[in-house]
């Protein structure tokens, strides 16, 4: 059965929750890799070991169910702006504008992108619909795109591995078996994240809970989830380990001193190669490590499990076979 797409109104101003993207770090001209792997190392962890709080983003980091979502959101927004186009704004110019701000806000809760659409409509003299209505329209169209995926997973016609980032199930199992407390946090509506995690067979790994977008943007933000993780664990921010393909979780992790692993996944191709745009954006946001997916989870966790400072430094220029 198709999971319900939550369409409740968002009652709180996005300005009160997650921050905007800021480029904090330069992208290195010559990447360094953990010897024999495709794991790029920008900075080594201050704390070793794996018995620690771990946060995973969901879409694009663990799940591929919503792969192609931008191909739904962008045309919807262009459609809303086309009747209000300024002089010289042909459809291609509007598409470029929309892609730019949608990409800029990727990683935040969906309502942020809809709030930006409201701004663009009003800037052109139009009467904008409430952001919650734009979000409902987007979710309706996205539901039509992914309904066969959800139904196939529910019926058993599709194996969960088909819609998981490669190695996702394995790294979750390895971390759980090593005593990590795992939480999943997403900008997708919470009801849908929980339902999709169950369909993918990974919900049980999230021993600390699964969190998604709610009407109360602040309490559901990734910053709030991180603060709760640290408060409940009684550990300092440097103990936190985060995995994500969006700038929000990377920036939030670094803000408390945690170790941020950028998952620059090739969602459409599942090629095992890093997505260049994701890599540059996530390094700029503060990522300490960059991986294409979790196929080298064993090597990554073995390296992280060692005490900080007791390992060999990453070999400059050494690449794995999938580079």
Model confidence band, residue 9 (pLDDT cutoffs 50, 70, 90)? very low
Cα 57 to Cα 13, 148, 166, distances in angstroms: 22, 23, 15
Dump pLDDT digits (tens) for 139-193.
Answer: 999 999 999 999 999 999 999 999 999 999 999 999 999 999 999 998 888 999 9
Strands 289-291 and 40-41 come out as antiparallel
Q: Answer whether 222's CB lies under 8 Å from 82's CB.
A: no
Percent of the chain with pLDDT over 70: 86
- pLDDT for res 245: 92
Tell me what the mean pLDDT of segment 283-296 comes to. Answer: 96
The CA distance from 32 to 52, in Å, is 26
HSE value, Cβ hemisphere, 13 Å, CA-based, for 196: 30
Helical ranges in the chain per DSSP H? 70-81, 91-104, 110-123, 131-155, 168-177, 190-199, 222-233, 247-255, 276-285, 297-305
What CA–CA distance (Å, rounded) separates 20 from 3? 30
Give the pLDDT confidence score for residue 100 in this predicted structure.
87
What would the pLDDT profile of 33-55 be if each residue is shown by its tens digit?
Answer: 999 999 999 998 888 788 899 99
Per-residue model confidence as pLDDT tens digits over 226-278: 888 899 888 889 999 999 998 889 999 999 999 999 999 999 999 999 999 89
**Secondary structure (DSSP) of 159-183:** -GGGGB-TTHHHHHHHHHHTT-EEE
What pTM was computed for the model? 0.84
Mean pLDDT over 210-214 rounds to: 87
Per-residue confidence (pLDDT) for residue 247, from 0 to 100: 86
Residue 307's pLDDT is 45
As a whole number of angstroms, the distance between CA 77 and CA 157 comes to 33
Q: Which domains are seen in the chain, by residue range? A: 18-64+164-316 (3.40.50.1000), 70-155 (no CATH)
Distance from C-alpha of 307 to C-alpha of 44, rounded to nearest angstrom = 11
Q: What is the mean pLDDT of residues 180-207?
A: 95
CA-to-CA distance for 257 and 313, rounded, in angstroms? Answer: 20
Q: What is the pLDDT of residue 222?
A: 82
Is the per-residue pLDDT at 306 higher than 90? Answer: no
Per DSSP bridges, beta strands 210-213 and 181-189 are: parallel
Task: Give the residues across from 241 on adjacent strands.
Answer: 54, 259
DSSP secondary structure string for all residues of 271-301 = -SS--HHHHHHHHHHT-SEEESSSTTHHHHH
Q: What is the pLDDT of residue 26?
A: 79
């Amino acid at each position: 059965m198709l999971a319900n797409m939550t369409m409740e109104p968002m009652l709180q101003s996005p300005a009160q929750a997650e921050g905007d993207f800021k480029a904090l770090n330069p992208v290195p001209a010559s990447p360094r890799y953990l010897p024999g792997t495709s794991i790029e190392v920008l900075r080594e962890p201050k704390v070793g070991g794996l018995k620690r709080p771990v946060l995973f983003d969901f879409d694009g980091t663990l799940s591929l169910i919503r792969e192609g979502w931008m191909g739904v959101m962008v045309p919807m927004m262009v459609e809303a702006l086309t009747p209000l186009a300024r002089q010289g704004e042909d459809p291609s110019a509007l598409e470029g504008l929309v892609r730019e701000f949608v990409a800029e806000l990727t990683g935040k809760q969906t309502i942020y992108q809809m709030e930006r659409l409201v701004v663009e409509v009003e800037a052109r003299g139009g009467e904008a619909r409430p952001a919650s209505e734009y979000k409902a329209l987007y979710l309706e169209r996205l539901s039509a795109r992914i309904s066969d995926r959800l139904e196939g997973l529910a019926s058993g016609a599709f194996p969960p591995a088909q819609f998981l980032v490669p190695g996702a199930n394995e790294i979750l199992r390895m971390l759980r078996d090593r005593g990590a407390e795992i939480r999943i946090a997403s900008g997708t509506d919470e009801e849908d994240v929980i339902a999709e995690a169950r369909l993918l067979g990974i919900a049980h790994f999230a021993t600390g809970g699964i969190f998604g977008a709610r009407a109360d943007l602040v309490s559901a933000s990734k910053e709030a989830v991180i603060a709760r993780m640290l408060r409940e664990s009684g550990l300092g921010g440097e103990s936190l380990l985060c995995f994500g393909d969006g700038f929000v979780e990377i920036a939030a992790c670094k803000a408390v001193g945690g170790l941020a692993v950028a998952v620059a996944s090739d969602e459409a191709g599942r090629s095992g190669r890093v997505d260049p745009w994701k890599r540059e954006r996530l390094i700029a946001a503060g990522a300490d490590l960059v991986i294409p997916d979790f196929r080298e989870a064993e090597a990554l966790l073995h390296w992280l499990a060692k005490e900080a400072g007791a390992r060999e430094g990453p070999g400059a220029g050494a690449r794995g076979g999938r580079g």
